[in-house]
């Protein structure tokens, strides 16, 4: 599998990277939907949440934990934030490498249709 996000991981296209470790990378969304909009992407290739296998479930925890750590580090953990993972067409997934959105920096509207 080779997506835009794999190219960012390999530094083949630029991104504003805010965190990286052996498991995941986090960078600012190019079209932010909130004052803070950061994407947390695993380095393991997984197209959608539907493709996550039981033995890989900890990856989602790592993404969520990294997002919470980022919120603490940046000081908006108490004000709050939202994490979102889009899966397939009805959710509007556009990049088929599973990822978590972190949205913050202002009161957010309710979600839905
Ligand atoms: P999805 O819709 O798949 O849940 O989220 C994909 C996200 O990737 C979108 O919010 C979109 O703005 C973002 N995105 C698309 N192309 C790029 C890019 O080249 N660089 C960065 N940093 N984000 C991108």
Q: What confidence score (pLDDT) does residue 55 get?
A: 98
Give the binding-site residues of ligand 1, using a 6 Å CB cut-off: 4, 15, 27-31, 39, 86, 92-95
8 Å CB contact between 62 and 45 = no
Superfamily of domain 4-104: HIT-like (3.30.428.10)
Check 23, 37, 99, 101 and give the catalytic one.
99
pTM > 0.95: yes or no:
yes
Domain spans of the chain? Answer: 4-104
Q: Is the ipTM of this complex over 0.85?
A: yes
> How does pLDDT run across 56-99, given as a tens digit for each residue?
999 999 999 999 999 999 999 999 999 999 999 999 999 999 99
Question: Where do the DSSP E strands lie in the chain?
Answer: 17-20, 24-28, 36-42, 81-84, 100-104
* pLDDT reported for residue 111: 81
């Amino acid at each position: 599998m080779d997506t835009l996000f794999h190219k960012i991981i390999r530094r083949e296209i630029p991104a504003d990277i805010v965190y990286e470790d052996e498991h995941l990378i986090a960078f600012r969304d190019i079209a932010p939907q909130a004052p803070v909009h950061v994407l947390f992407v695993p380095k393991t290739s997984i197209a959608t949440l539907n493709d996550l296998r039981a033995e890989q479930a900890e990856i989602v925890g790592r993404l969520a934990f990294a997002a919470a750590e980022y919120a603490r580090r940046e000081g908006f953990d108490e004000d709050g934030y939202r994490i979102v993972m889009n899966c397939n067409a009805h959710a509007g997934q556009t990049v088929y490498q599973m990822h978590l959105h972190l949205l913050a920096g202002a009161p957010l509207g309710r979600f839905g249709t």
